[in-house]
Structure 1
Amino acid sequence: MTRTPQQDEPDDDPLVTQTRLRRDRRDRWLRSGDMSVGRRLAQIGVLGWIFVVPTLAGLFLGRWLDARFASGIFWSAPLMFLGVCLGGWTAWKWMNAE
């Protein structure tokens, strides 16, 4: 039985895209093997910095605004939470890109 062009699956189908991505990752892993301990530690370190830097930036900006306007922790808490969210989102995107 031959397939007609109408029966072919589109290239932008998410299932096809994810299957190809998984196959490519597996092929790359089979070619290069497991990562070294040093490379894994480096990835963990980068992931930590990706998460910590926005959190601390939000906290420092919030503390500065609180000191400037004498508002207690009115700015510190929400900006730190925003930094945690931004760091988590960035880390998640970075992990899925690797």
Structure 2
Amino acid sequence: MNRDTPPSQEKLATAVRLRADRARRAQRLPSVARNLGQIGILGWQIVIPALAGLAIGRWLDHRLESGIFWTAPLMLAGLALGCRSAWKWMHRQ
């Protein structure tokens, strides 16, 4: 600042500058909460289709009295679909 600037304005300008610097640094660094949230989303994107395949397979096996003939393949198909969905989501982020 220059000589004509009152000390209170200099303090205010310094505080504003420091706050702006902190905000810029915070935007560059990913937060722990954001990373945990993304891990949670990825987990659910994989688990929900697998559980849906499991439920449909169990229902079909119960209806058709076929042991686990439909349960295992539909669960694996749901798992594959969930992994593909998670992969695509990660590349969009």
> How does the TM-score come out when normalised to structure 2?
0.71
Tell me which of 62, 77, 80 is aligned to 1:82: 77
Correspondence list, 1:85-96, <5 A: 85-96=80-91
Instruction: State the match for 1:3 in structure 2.
Output: none
CA distance in structure 1 between the partners assigned to 2:87 and 2:35 by the alignment: 17
CA distances 1:56-84 after superposition (whole Å, capped 9, x unpaired) = 00000000000000000110011001001
Sequence identity (%): 57
Which residue identity does 2:83 align to in structure 1?
Answer: G
Give the structure 2 partner of residue 41 of structure 1.
Answer: 36
Q: What are structure 1's unaligned runs of at least 5 residues?
A: 1-29
Q: Tell me by how many angstroms 1:32 deviates.
A: 2.6
Equivalences for residues 13-92 of structure 1 within 5 A: 32-92=27-87
* Partner Cα distance (2:51, 2:26) in 1: 39
Distance (Å, rounded) in 1 between the aligned partners of 2:26 and 2:52? 40
Structure 1's consecutive aligned runs of 4 or more residues displaced over 6 angstroms after TM superposition are none
Letter in 2 for 1:67: H
Unpaired stretches in structure 2, ≥5 consecutive residues? 1-24
Count of equivalent residues: 69
Structure having the higher Rg:
2
CA distance in 2, matches of 1:48, 1:92: 11
TM-score, L = length of structure 1: 0.67
